[in-house]
Amino acid sequence: MQKTITGFSKLSKSEKIDWIVNSYFRNNNSAKTILMQYWNSDSKLQSLHDEFIENTITNYYLPLGVAPNFLINGQTYTIPMAIEESSVVAAASKAAKFWFDRGGFKAEVISTTKIGQVHFTYDGHTKELISFFNSIKSKFFKDTSSITKSMEKRGGGILDIELRDKTSDLTNYYQLHATFETMDAMGANFINSCLEQFATTLKTEAKAFLTGNIHIIMSILSNYVPDCLVRAEVSCKVEDLTENPDIAPQAFADKFIQAVNIAEIEPYRAVTHNKGIMNGIDAVVLATGNDFRAVEAGVHAYASRNGTYSSLTHAEVNDGVFKFWMEIPLALGTVGGLTSLHPLVKLALEMIGNPSAKELMQIVAVAGLAQNFAALRSLTTTGIQEGHMKMHLMNILNQFEATPEEKETLISHFKTNTVTHSSVVDAINNLRANK
């Protein structure tokens, strides 16, 4: 099997596909047909997609669904969600409707500060470096003025720059630790450009003032944003937790809170608990053209900020009122990147009112809280599999290429029967055998 090639990036898309299907697939005609059937028939739109990344060969589709009836700070939203996992959109929609009738979700942005760092070593005296930094600090702002000009007009820019001594952790290691406000942009390119200029200024000025040697290691933003926080919560009287007739409201509240408490102290549970939150968050982040990998990394780091991985959500009953809430770091943007390029991203943002970055932070956090509420409600009442497997039923039927008539019969059958993979397979086989 051919595994290496020189000059692959210089091939046309068709040539790339020909090389791939001839090198890796037994039925190369079938493989090529599958790859090409996902091309967009609009050549202009396909060209746009081709230029998002390198070496594109086709498009990889995810379903884009919507979760209606979200009441957030008194305003109703239908939230777009791009995700492949069964039951996520349904669960979010169900949670939204439950809380719509109980006052909806409240959300607020606590802070929006983002971080970037220049990592470097210095082999001289620390006191000399501190004195040098203090004397040239204003020059970092001056030398980046051309970069920050537009951002400052929008109310953002560089907030502060600190020199941090990390030599107790790593020999000769220091940082320029900078804080930024990037307004409606996620701001990665802006922050990184500023940091690289900081590094240039640091090296240039050091030659004239320092006796030791500075070596720049790297200049890069951080995706850990513990000061870019949003809070989302829901609350109602315990007596209003009345959706499930099989469990009394107080019993439901007690069991729900106990489930959250377990996730607060047990990392094995907390990881799955928080993954459920991210089902909602990632789906909206992806639908709105933001970087879900950065969000994931920052969120999970935040969940470990106290030394142990723990739940991001919390719950309590106080004076007869049930409250469920979360504070979470989210660095999001509504301008730049795919937000202005991808047609579906534009539609998704328009669907939620073309929000500012702060408004999007609130919507995304609420989607995560709703998803977690839905999961915990199922776990502590009917069990997670009942609803999830019924939503997964269609995937199993499609896996076995069920006909429309077979789907209709089997969907009806499993309205009153437990869905498992084996039970669905048995039902399909029995249905076909009886024909």
Does the structure show a pLDDT above 80 at 224? yes
Report the distance separating Cα 117 and Cα 202, nearest Å.
Answer: 13
Structure tokens at 294: 């950065």
Q: How confident is the model at residue 384 (pLDDT cuts 50, 70, 90)?
A: low
Cite the beta strand spans of 124-281 per DSSP E.
157-165, 173-181, 214-221, 229-237
Highest mean pLDDT among 37-46, 345-354, 378-387: 345-354
Instruction: Enumerate the domain spans of the chain.
Output: 8-50, 64-108+230-382, 114-221, 388-434
What is the band of 391 on the pLDDT scale with cuts at 50, 70, 90? low
When computed from its CA atoms, the radius of gyration of the chain, rounded to whole angstroms, is: 26
Give the pLDDT score at 421: 79
DSSP 185: B
User: What is the overall mean pLDDT for the chain?
Assistant: 93
Residue 38 CA to residue 44 CA, distance in Å, equals 15
Using the 8-state DSSP alphabet, how is residue 339 labeled?
G
Nearest to 396 by CA among 417, 426, 375: 426
pLDDT at 88 over 80: yes
User: Is 123 designated active site?
Assistant: no
Domain 114-221 falls in which CATH fold? Alpha-Beta Plaits (3.30.70)
- The pLDDT confidence band at residue 387, using thresholds 50, 70 and 90, is low
Q: Is 85 a catalytic residue?
A: yes
Mean pLDDT for 208-215 is: 94
The mean pLDDT value for 345-361 works out to 97
Query: pLDDT category, 62, cuts 50, 70, 90?
Result: very high
**Catalytic residue flag (residue 291):** yes
Residue 389 pLDDT level (bands cut at 50, 70, 90): low
Structural domain 64-108+230-382, CATH architecture: Alpha-Beta Complex (3.90)
* pLDDT tens digit sequence for 91-106: 999 999 999 999 999 9
**pLDDT at residue 388, rounded to an integer:** 56
* Half-sphere exposure for 59 (CA within 13 Å, toward CB): 19
For 149-167, the pLDDT digits (tens) are: 999 999 999 999 999 999 9
pLDDT over threshold 60, residue 35: yes
Residue 116, pLDDT > 80, answer yes
Give the per-residue pLDDT at 245: 82
> Is pLDDT at 2 greater than 70 in this prediction?
no
Which amino acid, one-letter code, is at 211?
Answer: T
Tokens coding 177: 């630790």
Confirm whether 401 is a catalytic residue: no
**Bridge partner list, 77:** 70
Distance from chain centroid for Cα 235: 25
pLDDT in tens, 286-323: 999 999 999 999 999 999 999 999 999 999 999 999 99
Find the catalytic residue in 85, 254, 264, 316.
85
229-265 residue pLDDT tens: 999 999 999 999 987 888 999 999 999 999 999 999 9
Q: How far is it, in rounded angstroms, from Cα 187 to Cα 192?
A: 8
Domain 114-221 in the same topology as domain 64-108+230-382? no
* Residue 237 Cα to chain centre, angstroms: 32
Say what the pLDDT of residue 26 is: 87
Report the pLDDT averaged over residues 205-217. Answer: 95
Instruction: Work out the number of other CB atoms within 10 angstroms of the CB of residue 376.
Output: 23
Which of these is catalytic: 143, 291, 342, 359?
Answer: 291
Question: Which is catalytic among the residues 97, 275, 407, 413?
Answer: 275
Residue 115, number of CB atoms within 10 A of its CB: 18
CA 235, CA 11: separation in Å to the nearest integer?
A: 58
Give start and end residues of each alpha helix (H) in 266-383. 267-287, 292-303, 343-351, 357-379
Work out the pLDDT band at 410, boundaries 50, 70, 90. confident
